Structure 1
Amino acid sequence: MTFLNPLALLALVAAAIPILVHLFHFRRPQRVAFSSLVFLKELQQTALQRLRIRQWLLLLLRTLALVCLVLAFARPVLRGPLASWVGGGKASVVGLVLDNSPSMAVRDAGGAYFTQARVIAAGILAQLDPDTRVCLVPVAGNAIAPEPVPRSVAEEQLRLLAIQHGARTLSAALRSASACVQQVQAPAVLYVISDLQASMLVDSLEQFVPEPLPTLLIPVGGQTPANLAITAVRIANRIIEQGQPVQIEATLANFGTAAANGVVATLALDEQRVAQASVDLPPGGSARVTFSTTPMRRGWLPGIVELLQPDALLEDNTHYLVLHVPEVRRLLVVAGAQARTDYLELAFAPEIRQDRVRFEITRIDETALPATDLEEYDVVVLVGVHDLSSGEVAVLMRYVAEGGGVLFFPGADGRLADYQQLLTALGAGQIRGFVGNWRGATPIATFGRMDLAHPLFEGLFVRLPGQREVQAERPAVYFALNYAPGQGVEQTLIHMSNGLPLLQEVRHGQGRALLWTVAPDPAWTEWPLRGLFVPLLYRAVFYLAGGEEALQRTLEAGKPARVRLQSFPAAAIPELVGPDGQVYRADPERRGSVRWARFEPGPARPGIYELRAGDQVVQRVAVNFDVAESDLRPESPEVAVRQLQAQTGLSVTLLEIPEASPPVVAEALRKAQVGVALWNVFLGLALGFLVLEMLVGLRARVETVTTGNA
């Protein structure tokens, strides 16, 4: 017999209380004066003996009641062959939690962990009576059946079970199994078969199950094999164009205990290997490698980063990515009544851009802004708007926060208070009026210092041999906003020669705004007449539109997926099609001004998936391996038992099975029969002893009264 709450046994010292009361609670004899002894009867010796026996009986009953009550709170359980003889060894319903997460693909001398686990599970099912109900609950994926099924059905489910992605914690799977078996009002027992991967035991939710069912934890494996993994891939460039170099960074990790030197990683883009790098990885360390490639076409280009070294877990040696080289950029130009947009429209004309990316320009008056859906555009260009209502400011702020880009040019007749309202909403600085003379002939400054390390200027200027600094044009400035940067997330990209900001970047939420303090108008600056105007304008649009790709984070296999729907037909149903042809469908949902599609269940396996609207491929997304599965370090069985008990409140016992074979499994189960919970027996005994004590004490009081009356 074992106790699930052994600390409660300390309360056994309370059993000494009745004994101490009996031994030390003496009555002092009182002297009573009698006038005569004629009325006193002689005390019978038999009456005194009967009184002593009754007192000892009351002492015994009180002590036993306290002892049984303490034992009940200690939750005794009878295990082993004796438990089977008592009648608790055979459960009428069994919950079987089987770890089918990717780490179970690791192999040792006994074969793959998952194969061993299935053999053990089959051995458990073989020991059950044919009419036993079974809840087979895999760790990865939902429970196969929402209610207990016959043993024969569970055996077929076990045969079809495979390794899946999207594993939950062991404690979460145990809660599901507990809820499943409790649908049947019968004795139940839970089994857990797992490699005890440490990450599977981390659960911040301590939610106890309603009934502390007996649970057997059966570990498999137990080694820490050498394993390398690609934990992250990042596209370093924010501006991506056809024919321009792109930097792709990959983070490699060594989860083993030995150093891995000369690890080779390769990059394939658009189904062709384009780059390779090598690195040394210390034990438990990580390193970053950088690939450089040049996309030769536009579109959603699939890519793969791979490790060439074989290790314990091969699936995390591959990481998928999608490089979006835009085919078209959609611009919304919002123009004030007095604003000049001819230079902007000429810069984006097909004759100027030639074979570069195509721009779709939509020009509206500022009065039409409230009725326009900004989500349909990559960049919103505000040119000389006269005023902005509080509603328009709120829409623009939400658009930027959700990943949009705003390019702002002031107007000479613009209301500075409205401009300031927009800047304040974005967390920017202060406007202090204008400087210079509109349509003046005398410049107040020229283009000055540029932050050439910023992605906006990447590849825009070329430093010739012998030059210490990049030689850039310095257009004159005649009229400009007097802007003072604030304390928000912003930086000055171009200064004027007088020190005032000329181009300011303001970051807000997931998006960005570029604030020009001059307009694209020769009355403000000669910049529209210079060769710098078109390339710098292109770079600004590409930079602002790059937030779209930044929002499309990598999805994880086996988990619900949320994909942003941009340029997606309004009436179409989003479909996510995997490399194996499996189709996942979702209903669009709108949050603010952004449309999303939530796929639940999500993609089942890593790979490149196509987001389709009917037969049209709108974009591609990368689905990758869960990084947490790459750390194969197991937790010790003893620690795992304590953690599962603390997280679920179940009565967890460790069961070691040395070999995954049916005879060994049967013998191990026979020796570790799940026992009978005896707390209710001891509680009943305690109540019985108290009832007997009350009856004996009541009879003693009745006899005392009768004797007194006599």
Structure 2
Amino acid sequence: VLLRRVVLTGQRSSRFQNLMLMLVRAAFLALLALLLAAPVRTDGTVDFVGSDPLLCAVVLDESASMNYRVDGATTRLDLSRAAATDFVHQSATWPEGSALVVLTSAMPDESLPEPGNDRPALLARLGGAGLRDSAKPLGTAISAAAQVLRTAQQPVRRLVVFSDGAAAAWRDVNPAALAGIENLAVRVVTSGGQPQSNLALTSAEGPQRLQPATARIPVRAAITAEGVDTECWLTVHAAGQKLHRVGPIQVHAGSLKHVEFDLPPLPPGPHLLTFELEPADRLDFDQQRFVAVQTAEPPVVWLIGAGDTDNDLSAVIYRNLLAPEVLSAEQQRVKLLPLSGEQLAAGSGRSPSAAGKAADSDSPPVLAVVLSNADLSREAQAVLLRQLERGMTVVLAPASTSGECDWPGLRQLLSDDLPADEELSEPTSFVWKPESEFAGQSELIELSRCGVLRRLRLGELQKEVEVHAQYADERPAVVSRRRGSGRLFLLTTAPDPQWSDLGIRAAGLLSWLHLLVDEALGPPDAVADFALGEPARNSFPTLPAGGLIRVAPQGARNAKPEWIRLKNQAPEQFWPTDKAGAYALEPAGAGQLAAAYTVNWPTEESVLAPITAAKLEQALGVKDVRLESTDSASAERLGLWARLFNIRDLRKVLAVLILILFVGELLLFRRLADRRPTANATFADKADAAC
């Protein structure tokens, strides 16, 4: 009985193994038939190919945000390039007569490849993407793709863009670029859809005016954080030396943080500053900004009164504000020359005996404070008017000791009426008019808070006069008029405490005087700021009219200088702006810095906000637009399988499976053959075989 049960069990096992053998052989035949059908793997990016010949333009986004590191050294550009490579391989199965063209957003403007089916050449073009030092948004590439698609012989046109989905990359796309192209469908395939975090230095700015070499340099920067709250530091370097470090700076996610601080004084001349943000994050390019500033010798300021300025309190206050005695000459922001009207007329503003500690200067003055007690002869008036025409700023201000406040030859430019001295019963104050250039200046808030007890009441003003500030009763407080290249101001009160609090709360008055000095100094002429890729041909008066100029990148490793030929102090072609950085301009043989410029990334490149399908339709002007996403995580999980079996071609995968089934069938058949008893076997032999 026991042996019979064993035989029955063995028979059931044998039937099961025979069934498995039959299934393996059936699967073998099915896979063999499938292999003969030559299948390839497809995905959602090619389901719009159809059965007619087509021309497809593939655009690979090379904007700066594509350098976002997903993990380790893998960037979104790497993921998009891999997806585009798969797409090019799949084009082998497209209908006969189809063609493909590969474009990149950072390609040269004159480079427009011909469509074709040379897949090695197409893949080589993709492989070279991202190797350039500059990046561009998609506008140029989309326009080039439209040009190719519009002249296509194939009846079907397709545009596939491989991008990270950042809306900033589409900012320069012309909505009419694809207009009029028939049978067009667009697919945008994005990579790296995981949550993003980014710390970016979106802007850095220096003063827009010449700065005295003895004054601290005000700068400001803007920092954004995306995804997470961040604590960071900001460092400023110049000529390889650290000038300043600010931090820790708290930046909340999704917010913009403004930072303002002063740098130490720099010697006269152009200077290149590098702002660096710490710590480093997933994007490198927006951690750095470059700023060019220019400093000059301290400007000359005239203080014109009645001889000895020590006898007038207002004159003493102006002198101490502009040139404090507690500061050394190397620390003075301006070179102050106290003058009388006679000295001004006799020496045209140059009098060593009147200057006291201030040195005699041949430099033209940028500011003159003229007190009402100054004796202005016709010669003195002519000197002031001549300097005013040339660009000097003149401030008419009441003196403490004068009986009648007037400035002959100058006051008439503002009003024909003699101003009246008015004492107020109650203190008042003045405010800047909204349309004035001084309105909204934070450093001038203190000036408008000062109480005024005594003032000058002006008569009817000339029609060319501009009122900058007015009192509570709407009487003018500060007025001005342009004359030639200069400006004439009148301040209707004095810093004397019997007049106002301007001398007690002196910060506002000092800031206003410094603003006037900076305005009179004018913009720098030896530095400039350019955007990446901007066609720049600025001229620099500090350069020679012609000859060769050495353009040397500052702070860049292994950067080679470039030689540019000048014509009329400007390049014959353009200044190099294809790489972000700071550039020093040195005339051939001079060996010293004559001018400088900086090149910075556009602020928009740091914005990682994703674009939507609706915005894509609006940007491209096409209705048939599909926005798709590649799964970087699944692609990473399949990475080993893809390397081993090249799963982009299913024929290779099927061949491997057929080989595995063939080996399995042989082993299973051998096992069954060894266990099957012969025809002459006894019952005992069958029992042994079953066992």
Superposition TM-score tier, normalisation by shorter sequence? 0.5 to 0.7
Q: 1:177 is matched with which residue?
A: 145
* 1:157 Cα deviation after fit: 3.1
Query: Structure 2: where are the runs of 5+ without partners?
Result: 1-43, 302-341, 367-380, 397-406, 424-428, 444-448, 492-509, 651-691
Q: Give the alignment of 1:56-455 within 5 angstroms.
A: 86-88=51-53, 91=54, 93-109=55-71, 111-128=74-91, 134-143=100-109, 145-148=111-114, 151=118, 152-162=120-130, 169-170=137-138, 173-186=141-154, 188-202=157-171, 205-207=174-176, 208-212=178-182, 213-235=184-206, 240-256=211-227, 258-260=228-230, 262-275=231-244, 276-327=246-297, 342-346=346-350, 359=363, 383=383, 405-407=391-393, 431-433=414-416, 435=418
- For 1:407 and 1:451, the matched residues in 2 are separated by 22
Would the alpha carbon gap of residues 321 and 251 (structure 1) be closer, same or farther in structure 2, given more than 3 Å must change?
Answer: same
1:37-69 Cα deviation digits (max 9, x unpaired): xxxxxxxxxxxxxxxxxxxxxxxxxxxxxxxxx
- The counterpart of 1:604, out of the listed 578, 584, 590, is 578
1:273-330 Cα deviation digits (max 9, x unpaired): 2322322111111222233332242222222222212222122121221231115979
- For 1:312 and 1:82, the matched residues in 2 are separated by 35
Would the alpha carbon gap of residues 572 and 516 (structure 1) be closer, same or farther in structure 2, given more than 3 Å must change?
Answer: farther
- The counterpart of 2:603, out of the listed 623, 627, 631, is 627
* 1:80 Cα deviation after fit: 7.1
Q: 2:488 is matched with which residue?
A: 515
TM-score (norm 2): 0.55
1:536-592 Cα deviation digits (max 9, x unpaired): 999688423443149966422233346453444444677754343354858879xxx
Contact 1:94 1:189 in 2 (8 A): yes
Query: What is the number of residues matched between the two proteins?
Result: 488
- For 2:395 and 2:173, the matched residues in 1 are separated by 50
* 1:342 Cα deviation after fit: 4.8
Contact 1:482 1:517 in 2 (8 A): no
Contact 1:482 1:500 in 2 (8 A): no
* 1:195 Cα deviation after fit: 0.2
* 1:167 Cα deviation after fit: 5.3
Would the alpha carbon gap of residues 109 and 517 (structure 1) be closer, same or farther in structure 2, given more than 3 Å must change?
Answer: closer
- For 1:170 and 1:669, the matched residues in 2 are separated by 31
- For 2:45 and 2:211, the matched residues in 1 are separated by 67
- For 2:224 and 2:87, the matched residues in 1 are separated by 38
Would the alpha carbon gap of residues 359 and 504 (structure 1) be closer, same or farther in structure 2, given more than 3 Å must change?
Answer: farther
Contact 1:299 1:324 in 2 (8 A): yes
- For 1:259 and 1:536, the matched residues in 2 are separated by 36
Contact 2:291 2:598 in 1 (8 A): yes
Would the alpha carbon gap of residues 574 and 274 (structure 1) be closer, same or farther in structure 2, given more than 3 Å must change?
Answer: closer
- For 2:142 and 2:98, the matched residues in 1 are separated by 19
3-state SS in 1 of match to 2:416 = strand
Q: Which 10-residue stretch deviates more, 313-322 or 102-111? A: 102-111
3-state SS in 2 of match to 1:191 = strand
- For 2:281 and 2:521, the matched residues in 1 are separated by 37
- For 1:628 and 1:185, the matched residues in 2 are separated by 38
Would the alpha carbon gap of residues 231 and 537 (structure 1) be closer, same or farther in structure 2, given more than 3 Å must change?
Answer: closer
What amino acid is aligned across from residue 191 of structure 1 in structure 2?
Answer: V
Contact 1:236 1:249 in 2 (8 A): no
What RMSD over aligned residues (CA atoms) do the two structures have, in Å?
A: 5.9
What amino acid is aligned across from residue 393 of structure 2 in structure 1?
Answer: L
Contact 1:209 1:649 in 2 (8 A): no
1:647 paired with 2:621, answer yes
- For 1:553 and 1:106, the matched residues in 2 are separated by 30
1:88-135 Cα deviation digits (max 9, x unpaired): 3xx4x5422111111111122592111122223333334446997654
3-state SS in 2 of match to 1:122 = helix
1:596-651 Cα deviation digits (max 9, x unpaired): 77975851222111245555543212222221111223235x4465445x534665
Contact 2:59 2:160 in 1 (8 A): yes
Q: Which 10-residue stretch deviates more, 110-119 or 229-238? A: 229-238
Contact 1:564 1:596 in 2 (8 A): yes
Query: Structure 1: where are the runs of 5+ without partners?
Result: 1-77, 332-337, 363-380, 389-395, 397-403, 420-430, 437-442, 460-467, 519-534, 590-594, 671-710
Would the alpha carbon gap of residues 444 and 116 (structure 1) be closer, same or farther in structure 2, given more than 3 Å must change?
Answer: same
Would the alpha carbon gap of residues 287 and 506 (structure 1) be closer, same or farther in structure 2, given more than 3 Å must change?
Answer: farther
Percent identity among equivalent residues? Answer: 16
- For 1:569 and 1:562, the matched residues in 2 are separated by 15
Would the alpha carbon gap of residues 218 and 241 (structure 1) be closer, same or farther in structure 2, given more than 3 Å must change?
Answer: same
3-state SS in 2 of match to 1:119 = helix
- For 2:219 and 2:199, the matched residues in 1 are separated by 19
- For 1:585 and 1:254, the matched residues in 2 are separated by 39
3-state SS in 1 of match to 2:635 = coil
Would the alpha carbon gap of residues 246 and 387 (structure 1) be closer, same or farther in structure 2, given more than 3 Å must change?
Answer: closer
Contact 1:341 1:383 in 2 (8 A): yes
* 1:169 Cα deviation after fit: 4.6
1:581 paired with 2:581, answer no
What amino acid is aligned across from residue 318 of structure 1 in structure 2?
Answer: Q
Q: Which 10-residue stretch deviates more, 197-206 or 484-493? A: 484-493
Q: 1:560 is matched with which residue?
A: 535
Q: Give the alignment of 1:634-673 within 5 angstroms.
A: 634-636=610-612, 638-639=613-614, 642-644=617-619, 646-648=620-622, 652=626, 654=628, 656=630, 659=635
- For 1:133 and 1:350, the matched residues in 2 are separated by 85
Q: Which 10-residue stretch deviates more, 180-189 or 625-634? A: 180-189
Q: Which 10-residue stretch deviates more, 112-121 or 160-169? A: 160-169
Would the alpha carbon gap of residues 652 and 596 (structure 1) be closer, same or farther in structure 2, given more than 3 Å must change?
Answer: farther
